Amino acid sequence: MTWIMWLATAASLVGTVGVNRKRPWGQAVWMATNVVWIACYTALGIWPSAALFCAYFFLAAYGFAKWLAEEKRPDVPTGNRGTDAPCLHERFILESPRVLRCAQCGRFFEIGSGGARSTARTD
């Protein structure tokens, strides 16, 4: 049991780093370790900790589902997400309150992301 818990400890830390960096894999690793912790604490009869990690798991699942839903929103094409380098064009069309589209190359930029901030400040 001990080595599983050490492994889960290491994986939990890796997952937390990923979550802090807002990486989806971090959420996935964290959720996987929650399941391991729930199993360990249940086997050991440490019910408060088992309950705590159950709560962590459902909170992480909720956050992950919400993130996926945002990622699939039609007004923000996923292919252009995470594009930090803005295009060098100057004309942008406001596609939605948070998304700009370049009139020349057609690339999308989310307002508030690195790209839109540096090319077309709206504030």
Site for Zn ion, rule CB under 5 A:
87, 89, 102, 104-105
Shortest reach from residue 95's CB to Zn ion, in Å: 13
Shortest reach from residue 19's CB to Zn ion, in Å: 33
- Which CA distances in Å does 11 have to 7, 27, 33, 37? 6, 11, 6, 11
Shortest reach from residue 121's CB to Zn ion, in Å: 16
Cα 88-90-94 angle, rounded to 5 deg: 115
For Zn ion, the closer CB: 50 or 99: 99
Alpha helices in 1-123 (DSSP H): 2-20, 24-44, 47-71, 114-119
For Zn ion, the closer CB: 1 or 105: 105
For Zn ion, the closer CB: 17 or 103: 103
Shortest reach from residue 106's CB to Zn ion, in Å: 7
For Zn ion, the closer CB: 66 or 89: 89
Of 55, 10, 62, 6, whose CA–CA distance to 34 is shortest? 55
